[in-house]
Structure 1
């Protein structure tokens, strides 16, 4: 397995992970500053336990992170906690994506989710940074 190839980028949303795009659009129109559809969805290939989607519109791109569908432990998959952390860090100048909104109404897409800005970057899958020279490794660790 090559994580850089297998887990980077987006793919079409599998049927089991489809979202109600009409409900999502309505929620975003009411809750996301500057949102203007129509939207199109794709799903990020990588990630851990919280499904993550890319939302493209004619004017910008967003990221949606949600709890998985199905029965979950009450404290598991705390996307609301993720959102609160990002929302707390963003105004301080810490390099996080802009938080747009948290939806705790399961009727919108079937589970809790939040919307943040899309920030292009690179994913470092191996913390030892084997493909980086010593100067780059030092710079990356100082940015953390």
Structure 2
């Protein structure tokens, strides 16, 4: 059996290596969402600034973000690992935002939050890797509006 090594670790498969990369990457992306939780309003304009920050994070980490996005689409093991990370993020966002807090008890809201976070990552991937052109730089505003819509659902 061929073994893969990286960062001092030995892995039985390329997938095991990618899963380890996903775990090791959490401390890099979590502060981006800490910044989201620190927003005052948040209003669409603040969310748009955060979305620009998140797209730039994807741009600065294009290789890892692209790898995780693409492999998760093909490999269930990584998909579910990332889904568990996303669910943990939803729970953490619930400490700051009532819409995410509602996701703990309301399966429809949890689904909406999961879809939103997945769509944000997919949008960042598509924009950063130029799969979808955005010459007018509209993506941050669209991401902000999606987040704002979920946050507004707590009021209804």
Quick check: TM above 0.5?
no
Higher share of residues assigned strand: 1
> TM (normalized to structure 2)?
0.27
Identify which of structures 1 and 2 has the higher relative contact order when contacts are C-alpha pairs closer than 8 Å and 6+ apart.
2
